[in-house]
């Protein structure tokens, strides 16, 4: 388990009689960029919400950065960064005021230098006193990344990070994700619909269908296992439609 | 810096930037100051007429303002705290807890090492400081105006009474801010989050006192609490509902503190009731489950 950033053990979540996630068991190695794929309602966001301790599992458990989501939720929260889908901020506050709040909640005592560093990494120099309400969608998404990495987490969760971005925004975000992984060694777990982005970004993938994991492997092995298929999209639809064993 | 302090500072910053909060604060401070100015103008007018009447030799009676406590001029502030202050506190409270749910920033907050109780207590502390600042500013200006009317600065005893009135006002307003926080956390829609505490406030301010003091219904908008009728149905109902009427308890305590001659007795029981409400509301709000804090709005 020591080499694993994320390990889930029959992780399940139900809402009444509706099963949102059914006995999910998956492993994500440290340093990977893991892409969780699936249709809408497949259970991707539920998985991220469970792994970030925003939800409590109905059954099962998971370890994130060595901390149990059921037994040591605070330890998990100290170790992760999280970018929700359609991230929102306090629009009447400036970029620095927003980031200072989240940095201090994460336990940073004097966060201003770290904020300056992160803003530089994400190419936000000169925007620090600008109110968030004036930012474009692409800029807000990068601010979302900024708030998630302020405290240098070991695992970063991104829920549909490219949702609503224009092609330029998608490219910038992709470069940022790859850089965070390669330069800072962060393990990245992301939900996404954009299979082309998965091909360019992820090192391993999982596919969820109706709350059940139907496939998990490295991207390279997945592509190699389907020599007749010329794209991840074709493989995805094939795996997604196979009966669950 | 821990969650409590970070949340308190953040709440103060948010209130400082919110336009609605600005408007309410200006109205409240303006009205409290106006209450002292009205007292001053009344004094000047009556004294002017009195001096003319004396000069014409039409009376030998003393000036009606002779011997009146300087704190008389602060009396009108009681009703402004009760009406405008309470509504302001409710709006600030609702905004505090609804903000994160409405903007969906709550997930960014709750995915961090943050305890829900520390977070809510921090927000409450931030609101408490804002309310204390508002009360402090308005009552300081009141103190200055009363001193001008009086022709000399208020003495230590009277200043102490103004401070005590400020503290009692803070307890009342913080209780209503907690009511706003509670509905901001529990309501499924923004409109009900605002509407429900206003309905409760109306009941506490108007209906409960009416039940016990129906013999003098017009007293409801007076700073001076109405005496309940003696004997019979209203007396029994008044005994039961009296402690629940937070606003009546506030009026009674404030009137005694400000040495209103129409109200006699000890303010201790009324202050204890106000503190009990504050404590109960704090416990109820802080006990809010974590999942409730991140529940979405149905709009």
Residue A226, chain B, CB below 8 Å: the answer is no
Of A132-136, A231-235, B84-88, B115-119, least confident by mean pLDDT is A231-235
SS3 B278: helix
Q: Is A145 on the interface with B (CB under 8 A)?
A: no
Q: What is the CATH number of the domain that holds A29?
A: 3.40.50.300
pLDDT of residue B73: 79
Q: Which residue segment(s) compose the domain that A16 sits in? A: 4-86+154-241
pLDDT at B234: 67
DSSP string, B218-244: GGGGSSSPPPPPSSHHHHHHHHHHGGG
Q: Does residue A52 sit at the B interface (CB-CB below 8 Å)?
A: yes
Shortest distance, CA A87 to any CA of chain B (angstroms) = 7
Q: Give me the percent of chain B exceeding a pLDDT of 90.
A: 43
- Residue A93 domain-assigned (yes or no): no
pLDDT digits (tens, 9 = 90+) for B202-236: 888 877 776 655 545 455 555 555 555 566 676 67
pLDDT at B254 over 90: yes
Would A168 be classed as within a structural domain? yes
Cβ atoms of B250 and B157 within 8 Å: the answer is no
Assigned domain for A221 exists: yes
Most confident segment among B28-32, B86-90, B111-115, B170-174: B170-174
Assess if residue A91 is contained within a domain: no
DSSP letter at B262 equals T
Reading chain A (245 residues) residue by residue, the pLDDT tens digits are 458 999 999 999 999 889 999 999 999 999 999 999 998 889 999 999 999 999 999 999 999 999 999 999 999 999 999 999 888 899 999 999 999 999 999 999 889 999 999 998 888 888 889 999 999 888 898 899 999 999 999 999 999 988 878 888 888 888 989 999 998 899 999 998 888 889 989 999 999 999 999 999 999 999 888 887 778 888 888 887 776 65
Which of B16, B113, B116, B297 best tests the A interface by mutation, with the highest count of A CBs <10 A? B113
What is the average per-residue pLDDT within B1-14? Answer: 91
Tell me the range of A138-152, B41-55, B275-289 where mean pLDDT is highest: B275-289
Q: First CA to last CA across chain B, in angstroms?
A: 35
Within a domain: residue A106?
A: no
CB contact under 8 A, A88 and B111: no
Q: Which residues of B touch A (CB under 8 A)?
A: 1, 3, 6-7, 10, 13-14, 17-18, 99, 103-105, 107-114, 291, 294
Q: Would A171 be classed as within a structural domain?
A: yes
Q: A89: which chain B residues are within 8 Å (Cβ-Cβ)?
A: 103, 105, 108
B276 compared with B30, residue with greater pLDDT: B276
Instruction: Give B4's Cβ-side CA count (13 Å radius).
Output: 6
Residue A207, helix vs strand vs coil: strand
Q: Which of A102-111, B72-81, B156-165 comes out lowest in average pLDDT?
A: B72-81
Between the ranges A229-233, B137-141, B185-189, B281-285, where is the mean pLDDT highest?
Answer: B281-285
Residues of A in contact with B103 (CB under 8 A): 88-91
Q: What is the DSSP-derived secondary structure letter of residue A122?
A: T
- Structure confidence at residue B295 (pLDDT): 80
Predicted structure pTM score: 0.87
Closest approach of B108 to chain A, Cα-based (Å) = 7
The nearest CA of chain B is from the CA of A97 a distance in Å of: 9
Count of domains in chain A?
A: 1
Write the burial class of residue A180 (CB in 10 Å: 0-12 exposed, 13-18 middle, 19+ buried). buried
- Which of A86, A87, A105 is closest, CB to CB, to B112? A105
Q: Which of the residue ranges B36-40, B83-87, B129-133, B143-147 has the most confident prediction, judged by mean pLDDT?
A: B129-133
Q: Is residue A71 part of a domain?
A: yes
Distant-in-sequence, close-in-space partners of B74: CB < 8 Å, separation ≥ 6:
B35, B36, B39, B139, B142, B146, B162, B165, B258
What residues form DSSP beta bridges with B243? Answer: none
- Average pLDDT value for chain B: 86
Contact between chains at B108 and A82 (C-beta distance less than 8 A): yes
B65: confidence class by pLDDT, cuts 50, 70, 90: confident
Q: What is the mean pLDDT of residues B87-97?
A: 93
Span B184-209, average pLDDT: 89
Mention every residue, 6+ apart, whose C-beta is less than 8 A from residue A43: A13, A20, A21, A22, A24, A208, A210, A211, A212
Alpha-carbon gap, residue A129 to A116, rounded angstroms: 12
- Predicted pLDDT at A244: 60
| pLDDT value of position A1 | 44
Which ranges in chain B belong to alpha helices (H)? Answer: 3-17, 19-55, 77-80, 86-103, 106-110, 116-150, 156-186, 190-202, 208-212, 232-241, 246-257, 268-286, 290-293
8 Å CB contact between B165 and B139: yes
- What is the CA B62 to chain-centroid distance, rounded? 36
For residue A17, being part of any structural domain is answered with yes
Which stretch of DSSP H or E encloses residue A22? strand A18-24
């Amino acid at each position: 388990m020591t080499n694993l950033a994320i390990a889930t053990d029959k992780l399940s979540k139900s809402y009444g009689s509706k099963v949102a996630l059914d006995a999910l068991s998956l492993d994500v190695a440290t340093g990977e960029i893991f892409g969780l794929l699936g249709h809408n309602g497949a259970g991707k966001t539920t998985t991220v919400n469970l792994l970030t301790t925003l939800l409590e599992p109905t059954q099962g458990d998971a370890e994130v950065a060595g901390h149990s989501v059921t037994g040591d939720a605070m330890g998990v929260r100290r170790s992760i960064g999280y970018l929700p889908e359609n991230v929102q901020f306090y629009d009447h506050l400036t970029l620095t005021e927003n980031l200072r709040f989240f940095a201090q909640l994460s336990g940073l005592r004097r966060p201003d230098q770290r904020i300056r560093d992160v803003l530089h990494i994400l190419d936000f120099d000169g925007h620090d006193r600008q109110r968030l309400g004036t930012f474009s969608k692409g800029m807000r998404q990068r601010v979302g990344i900024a708030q998630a990495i302020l405290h240098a987490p070991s695992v970063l969760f991104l829920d549909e990070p490219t949702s609503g971005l224009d092609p330029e925004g998608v490219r910038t975000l992709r470069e940022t994700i790859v850089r965070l992984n390669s330069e800072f060694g962060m393990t990245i777990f992301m939900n996404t619909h954009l299979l082309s982005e998965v091909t360019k970004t992820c090192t391993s993938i999982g596919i969820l269908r109706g709350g059940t994991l139907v496939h998990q492997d490295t991207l390279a092995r997945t592509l190699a296992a389907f020599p007749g298929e010329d794209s991840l999209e074709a493989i995805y639809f094939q795996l997604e439609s196979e009966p669950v064993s | 810096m821990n969650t409590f302090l970070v949340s308190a500072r953040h709440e103060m910053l948010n209130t400082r930037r919110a336009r609605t909060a600005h408007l309410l604060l200006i109205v409240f401070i303006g009205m409290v100051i106006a209450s002292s100015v009205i007292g001053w103008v009344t004094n000047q007018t009556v004294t002017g007429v009195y001096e003319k009447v004396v000069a014409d030799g039409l009376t030998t009676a003393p000036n009606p303002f002779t011997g009146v406590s300087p704190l008389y001029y602060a009396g009108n502030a009681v009703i402004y705290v009760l009406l405008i202050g309470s509504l302001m506190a409710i709006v600030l409270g609702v905004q505090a807890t609804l903000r994160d749910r409405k903007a969906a920033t709550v997930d960014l907050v709750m995915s961090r090492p943050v305890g829900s109780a520390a977070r809510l207590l921090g927000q409450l502390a931030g609101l408490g400081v804002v309310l204390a600042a508002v009360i402090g500013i308005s009552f300081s200006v009141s103190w200055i105006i009363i001193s001008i009317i009086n022709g000399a600065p208020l003495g230590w005893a009277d200043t102490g009474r103004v401070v005590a009135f400020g503290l009692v006002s803070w307890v009342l307003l913080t209780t209503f801010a907690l009511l706003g926080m509670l509905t901001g956390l529990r309501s499924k829609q923004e409109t009900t989050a605002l509407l429900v505490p206003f309905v409760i406030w109306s009941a506490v301010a108007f209906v409960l006192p009416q039940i016990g003091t129906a013999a003098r219904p017009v007293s409801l908008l007076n700073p001076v609490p109405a005496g309940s009728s003696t004997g019979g149905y209203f007396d029994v109902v008044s005994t039961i509902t009296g402690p629940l009427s937070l606003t009546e308890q506030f009026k009674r305590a404030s009137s005694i503190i400000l040495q209103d001659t129409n109200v006699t007795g000890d303010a201790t029981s009324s202050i204890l009731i106000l503190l009990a409400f504050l404590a109960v509301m704090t416990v109820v709000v802080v006990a809010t489950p974590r999942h409730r804090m991140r529940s979405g709005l149905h709009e």
